[in-house]
Copies of this chain bind each other. A is one copy, B any other.
């Protein structure tokens, strides 16, 4: 299942393509943006997955059940160092034009010789829409 990796110059580029792949149910693109090792993925309510092949398989199963996902995301916080970036995002799942569910995600990116790749995704459904502490920027 090893795919040719995509090349990204910034964590934001990986994130944009990650959500594009999510929306369009594109498992080939998803497979190209995850690193091979030291990866973890937690889908909402589900067990943690810690190997590349198992993570890509999990996305393929999610994508098999859907033609596409209507969602939009907002980056709430970014912490970036030379070789690791940790983003907190709010994912709004839309149905018939209305927000049906809110998922908070912690996305982790790492810089490799050929660019940035995803190494972590932790999504969880939350019931409260607001950002506590200050107004969402």
Contact = CB atoms under 8 A, between A and B. Distances in A.
A49 B126 CA distance: 12
B119 A42 contact: no
Interface string A111-137: 000000001101011111111111000
Given A77-B40, A79-B38, A51 B133 contact: yes
Stoichiometry, as copies per complex, reads 2
Contacts of A126: 42, 45-48
30 contacts: A38-B77, A40-B77, A40-B88, A42-B126, A45-B127, A46-B126, A47-B130, A48-B77, A48-B90, A49-B131, A50-B77, A50-B88, A50-B131, A50-B132, A50-B134, A53-B133, A54-B132, A54-B133, A55-B133, A79-B108, A79-B110, A79-B119, A79-B120, A81-B83, A81-B84, A81-B110, A82-B82, A82-B83, A86-B120, A124-B124
